[in-house]
Amino acid sequence: MDIDEYTLIKSKSQSALQSEEALEFAYFLINNSLDAAFCLGKNAEFLYVNDATCLMSEYSREELLAMTLRDIDVDFQLQNWSEKWQSLVQSGTQNSLTFKSRYRTKGERIFLVEISLTYVKHQDKEFCCAFAREKSNEVVEMSVQKWTDELRDTKLHLQQEVSTLKAKKTELETSLSVLRSTFESTANAIVAVNFDGDILSFNQKFMDMWQIPESLILSKKCPRCKTFFENQLKDPEAFSRLVWEVSSECDFESYDILELKDGRIFAHYSKPQWLGEKIIGRVWSIWDITESKKTEEALRLNEKRFRTLAETSDASTLLIQGMRICYVNRAVELLTGYTKQELLTNFDIRRLIKSKKSRAVSSQGEGTNFEYQEINILTKKGKERWLACAVTMLPGGPDFGEKPVELISGIDITDYKYAESELSQALEQAKQLSELRARFLSMVCHQFRTPLNIVSFSNSLLKRNIYEWTEEKILPLLNHIQTGVEQISLMLDDILYFAKAESAKLNFDPKSLELVGFCNDLVAQMQMSSSQNQIHFVTEANCLIAYMDQKLLEPILKNLLENAIKYSPNGNAIDFKLSYEKKKVIFQVKDRGIGIAIEDQQRIFEPFYRGSNIDHIPGTGLGLSILKTLVDLHGGQVTVESEIDVGTVFTVILPSGNINLPDANYQ
C-alpha cells in the first residue's frame, strides 16, 4: 500500500467518526432542549419527537409516533393544514411559518402553544420541522378576546334577527291584508264558529246570503239569532245540529245540504279549526247550489230518457271517456259478443276498436255538432265489423268526474263495406282489363303492321310484274310473303295460347318425364332453327326422371331459349343448365345479350309489356306472361337477374314430385 492510499483511507475513517459524533451531539442537543421539537410528514403524521414534546403532551415517544397532529391539536383542521403545507412548499426552506394553536395533553389539559414550521426536503423526502413553546399565560387573553368577539357576533346576530322580524312582521301584515281581501272577495260565504256557539268571524257574503240584519247578535245564546235561522229553514233542527251543536271532539270534515223556505238550497262544507294540537271550533264554507240542483235534476231526467231510448234502439250506443268505456246498450253486446260487464270492467278499448276514419257529410246543418265516422271493430270471436257512427262530445256530469264524454251511436254497415270492397275490386279489374285491351290493340296494330306491309308490298309487286319478271326476281318476294305469314302465325299462336292460359283452359297433367333427354332434344330442335347462337346444355346427371307436364314445360323452356337468342348478338353463346336440389328441379338460361333495365324487371311478366331497350326487335310481350302462368300451374317460381349490356339469367324452379336418379354419381 502506498502513502496516498493510506492517507485516503485514514481520511475516510476520520470523516465517519466525525459524522457519528455529530449525530450524537445533535441527538443530545434536540432532546435536552426545553422547547418541544418534532418532525411532521405531509399528512401531519409524527415522524420524530424530542423528549420535551413527550413531556409537554404527556404521551410516550412510541405513542406519538403512532399519532398525527390532529390527535393533540384542538384547533386542527385538515383544510387549514393543507394550505399551510402548500405555503411552506412554495416558500421553500428559507422561510418558516409561525402560528398559535391549542394542544390537549393525554390528561385532557388544554394549553396554548406557539408553533414554528420549517419545510425540509432531504433525499427526495419531504417533511417539516416544528418547534412548539407553551403560551399558557395568553389563554386568559384569548378567552377574553374570544368572549368579546362572541359578544360582538351576538350583537350583530340580534340586529339581524330584529331586521328579519321586522321584515316578517311587514310580510305578515301584507299576508293578513291579502287574506282579508281574499276572505271578502270569495264567492262562498265563510263563517268560523267556536264550541260555545259564538260566531268568531264571517265575511260579507255570509251576511248577504242569509240576509242577516246588522243588529243581530250571531250567537246561539241569543234567542233572536236562533229564531232568525229557524224561520228561514225547512228543517230548523238541521242548522242547530250542524252549527250550534257540533262537538269539540269532532275532527272530521263534513258536507251537508240545507234547504230554505224560499226555495234556495245551500251547500255546507266544514272542517275543524286547529290551534296547535287542539280543536277550537269549525270553519264553514257555504255556497248557493240552487241552479246546479235544478240542472242536476234536469240531467237525471235526460239521462233516464237517454237510457230508455238507447236500450230500445237497434243502433249500437257507447259512452267513452279517454280509454274507458262508461256505457254500452244491448245492441253493442249483440254486435261484439262481449257482455256489458266485460266491457265496463277494466276493458282495454283497443281490443274492440281497431281503427276510426272520419267522413265528410255534406248535408250537416249549422247547428249540427257531431262528426260522422266509420269505425272498424273486432268482435270477441275475432271477426271484423264496420259501423257508420255519429260521434259527439258531451260535457261530463258528476257521474263522469266533470270530464267530457264521447258519445258514439252507430249502425252495422259490414255488408255494405264488403259490397263496396267487391265493387272497388271489380272496378279496378275493369280498369285493368280496359288498359290491357288498349295495350293489346296497340300491340296488334304495331306488331302486325310490319309483316302485313311486307306481304302487301310484295303481293303488289307480284301483281304488277308477274308476267314480266323471271323466277329469280319473283322467288325473294314469295319468301318475304312466307316470312310475314309465319310471323303473323307465331303472334296469333302466342295470343291464342295466352287466351287459353288466362281463361284457365290449360290443364296441369304431370307424368313421368326423363328431363335430360327432353332438354337435349329441345336444344337440338332450337339449334336447327337458329344456328347463329350456340346453346351449351350442362347437367351433372345422365338421367333425371321427374313428374311434370311436358306440354306445359316445353313452352316454358322454349320461350326462355328463344328470348335468349333473340336478344343476344349473333355469335354469343347461350348457357342452359339443369340441376336438382331438395326435391326441386332447377332450369337456368343465361345469355350475354342486351340485358333488362331494373325498372323493367318489375313488370316484364305483365301481358303485352316489353322492355324499354328492345328497339325494333319484334315481339308481342306475351311470352314471359305465358311463362309465368305455366310456372304457376306447376306450383313453381321464376326469377330474373339482369344488367344492361352484360346479360340476363332466368331461373325456373319447379317441384319434381317423386324423382328418380338412376345416375348415382349425381349430387
- Residue 564 CA to residue 590 CA, distance in Å, equals 7
Residue 665 domain-assigned (yes or no) = no
pLDDT score of 101? 87
Residue 660 domain-assigned (yes or no) = no
**Would you mind telling me the total number of residues written for the chain in this entry?**
667
Neighbouring-strand partners of residue 202:
191
Residue 590 domain-assigned (yes or no) = yes
240-297 pLDDT tens trace: 666 666 554 566 777 778 788 888 888 877 787 777 777 777 787 888 887 777 666 6
Q: Look up residue 250 and give its amino acid.
A: C
Give the chain's count of helices (H) and strands (E).
17, 23
The answer on 378 and 309 residing in a single domain is: yes
651-663 pLDDT tens trace: 999 987 655 555 5
The answer on 258 and 124 residing in a single domain is: no
219 within 8 A of 197, measured Cβ to Cβ? yes
The answer on 512 and 489 residing in a single domain is: no
- Select the more confidently predicted residue: 283 or 369: 283
Closest CA to 621 of 506, 484, 494, 530: 494
DSSP-H helix ranges across 503-613: 515-529, 550-566, 598-601
Closest CA to 328 of 299, 303, 307: 307
Q: How confident is the model at residue 473 (pLDDT cuts 50, 70, 90)?
A: confident
Query: What's the mean pLDDT in 190-208?
Result: 76
Residue 2 domain-assigned (yes or no) = no
25-51 pLDDT tens trace: 778 878 888 888 999 998 889 989 999
Neighbouring-strand partners of residue 591:
648
Residue 667 domain-assigned (yes or no) = no
| pLDDT beyond 50 at 545 | yes
pLDDT score of 139? 55
Residue 141 domain-assigned (yes or no) = no
Question: In Å, what is the CA distance from 217 to each residue of 280, 369, 552?
Answer: 20, 55, 114
pLDDT score of 443? 56
Domain containing residue 119: CATH number: 3.30.450.20
Question: In Å, what is the CA distance from 657 to each residue of 70, 541, 577, 582, 654?
Answer: 96, 17, 20, 11, 9
- Residue 440 CA to residue 522 CA, distance in Å, equals 30
Closest CA to 566 of 585, 589, 540, 545: 589
Where does a domain end: 382, 412, 442? Answer: 412
Q: How confident is the model at residue 93 (pLDDT cuts 50, 70, 90)?
A: low
Where does a domain end: 288, 318, 351? Answer: 288
| pLDDT beyond 60 at 428 | yes
The answer on 90 and 43 residing in a single domain is: yes
- Residue 60, SS3? coil
pLDDT score of 45? 92
- Residue 663, SS3? coil
Residue 4 domain-assigned (yes or no) = no
Residues 6+ apart with CB under 8 A from 495: 444, 620, 622
Q: How confident is the model at residue 665 (pLDDT cuts 50, 70, 90)?
A: very low
Closest CA to 380 of 348, 344, 335, 410: 335
DSSP labels, 193-207: EETTSBEEEE-HHHH
Give the lowest-confidence range in 148-162, 270-284, 491-505, 524-538: 491-505
Cα Rg, the chain, nearest whole Å: 56
pLDDT score of 323? 85
Residue 550 domain-assigned (yes or no) = yes
- Residue 323 CA to residue 406 CA, distance in Å, equals 10
The answer on 649 and 531 residing in a single domain is: yes
Closest CA to 71 of 97, 98, 43: 43
- Residue 376 CA to residue 356 CA, distance in Å, equals 6
- Residue 536 CA to residue 430 CA, distance in Å, equals 45
The answer on 372 and 306 residing in a single domain is: yes
212-249 pLDDT tens trace: 887 777 766 677 777 787 788 887 776 666 666 655 45
pLDDT score of 313? 73
- Residue 495 CA to residue 253 CA, distance in Å, equals 93
Residue where the block lists cell 246498450: 329
- Select the more confidently predicted residue: 9 or 207: 207
The answer on 646 and 517 residing in a single domain is: yes
Secondary structure E strands in 340-404: 353-359, 371-378, 384-394
Where does a domain end: 288, 323, 340? Answer: 288
Indicate the pTM of the whole model. 0.34
The answer on 430 and 407 residing in a single domain is: no
Helix axes 550-566, 515-529, angle to 10 degrees: 40
Closest CA to 339 of 349, 355, 328, 350: 328
Neighbouring-strand partners of residue 651:
588, 639
Closest CA to 565 of 601, 589, 597: 589
User: How many CB atoms are closer than 10 A to CB 618?
Assistant: 13
- Residue 292 CA to residue 464 CA, distance in Å, equals 109
Domain containing residue 533: CATH number: 3.30.565.10
pLDDT score of 664? 42
Tell me the average pLDDT of the chain. 78
- Cell digits of residue 401: 268526474
Residue 358: domain span: 293-412
- Cell digits of residue 654: 319447379
| pLDDT beyond 80 at 546 | yes
- Select the more confidently predicted residue: 5 or 127: 127
pLDDT score of 666? 47
- Residue 323 CA to residue 475 CA, distance in Å, equals 88
The answer on 611 and 533 residing in a single domain is: yes
Closest CA to 460 of 452, 450, 448, 472: 452
The answer on 65 and 100 residing in a single domain is: yes
Domain containing residue 468: CATH number: 1.10.287
pLDDT score of 68? 92
The answer on 83 and 204 residing in a single domain is: no
The answer on 242 and 194 residing in a single domain is: yes
60-76 pLDDT tens trace: 989 999 999 889 998 88
Q: How many domains is the chain partitioned into structurally?
A: 5
The 8-class DSSP code of residue 67 comes to: S
pLDDT score of 495? 61
Residue where the block lists cell 349425381: 666
pLDDT score of 667? 41
DSSP labels, 430-473: HHHHHHHHHHHHHHHHHHHHHHHHHHHHHHHHHHHHTTTS-HHH
Across 3-12, 129-138, 256-265, 533-542, which has the greatest mean pLDDT?
Answer: 533-542
